[in-house]
Amino acid sequence: MSKYSVLIAKSFKKMFYYKSQNLLGIVTSIIGIIMMQYFWKALYGSRTVVYDTSLNQMLLYSSMSWFLNLFNHEDVQNEILEDIKKGDVALKLVYPVNYIHYLFCKAIGYNLWIFLIKGVPIITFVWLFLKSEFGVLELGLAELGLSEINLPQANFSEVNLSLEGILLFALSAILGNVLLCLMDLGLCLISFVWVEMSGLFVVRDVLTTIFSGLIIPTWFFPDFLQKVLNVLPFQYTFQVPLAILCGRIAAAEAGYYLAVQGIWLLGILIFMYLFWKWIVVRVESLGG
């Protein structure tokens, strides 16, 4: 276990070399959050509720979607593709650690850095500057024992953040990020068969952006398309955690969605395990 913790620590420390890039990422994200706030305010106009979704819910949803989108896995994806094209993957297969575990540990270290250096400042910005301007956050301090305010019950048109809702959001967001990471790794494994995968990755990015609810929630889509998306894993990466946070999914219903996320994780893990065993045999049979 210690060797994997070392990999996580090294990946975390490596990100210290990109200080200017991380600072620019924070500024870009804050600008994007502000622009999306005004976009949804203009789109709603004089209406307060559209498709059972209040303006406050969409303001919170759009703000936190930028936060979740920080945790991408482009570095891991690029490393796999470079290893395959250069032939370095054959050398890494003889490392004293499993290659997939090695990549996953690097992703963990990277995400820890992103959360501490980028995520915390962005959440602080949303809390300090956007709550009074847009009425985004109304933390249920009563449930923390810090206030005697009687908060209304959560429904589709109110934003009512409670400690339970925040914890469920955090758990679902972690599961969603792991699911997205495994989807990326699974797709990268296909590059062992098809070396040039750039076109497929572009398609993946488009599908994930549109169907995961990252920009526009899928409940605004036509009914037939929603039924199709319900059996696909995309919305469980971003939309489900955000829906839990903004009140579209009540705390009592969150267990079902967490279970579905777990089922998708298990299914992709089984696929990766079987496919990886086939890949290793194939690489070795070619003399790699």
What's the pLDDT score for residue 154? Answer: 33
Tens of pLDDT, residues 145-154: 444 433 333 3
What's the average model confidence in pLDDT over 76-97?
73
- Of the two residues 2 and 270, the one the predictor is more confident about is 270
What's the average model confidence in pLDDT over 249-261?
90
What's the pLDDT score for residue 261? Answer: 94
Q: Mean pLDDT for the chain?
A: 78
Whether pLDDT at 208 is above 80: yes
Q: What is the 3-state secondary structure (H, E, C) of the chain?
A: CHHHHHHHHHHHHHHHHHHHHHHHHHHHHHHHHHHHHHHHHHHHCCCCEECCEEHHHHHHHHHHHHHHHCCCCHHHHHHHHHHHHHCCHHHHCCCCCCHHHHHHHHHHHHHHHHHHHHHHHHHHHHHHHHHHHHCCCCECHHHHCCCCCCCCCCCCCCCCECHHHHHHHHHHHHHHHHHHHHHHHHHHHHCCCCCCCHHHHHHHHHHHHHHCCCCCCHHHCCHHHHHHHCCCCHHHCCHHHHHHHHCCCCHHHHHHHHHHHHHHHHHHHHHHHHHHHHHHHHHHHCCC
Whether pLDDT at 43 is above 80: yes
Whether pLDDT at 130 is above 80: no
Tell me the residue range of the domain where 53 lies. 2-285
Q: How many domains does the chain have?
A: 1
The reply to whether the predicted model has a pTM over 0.85 is: no
Of 45-59, 63-77, 136-150, least confident by mean pLDDT is 136-150
What's the pLDDT score for residue 146? Answer: 42
What's the average model confidence in pLDDT over 118-145?
62
What's the pLDDT score for residue 262? Answer: 94
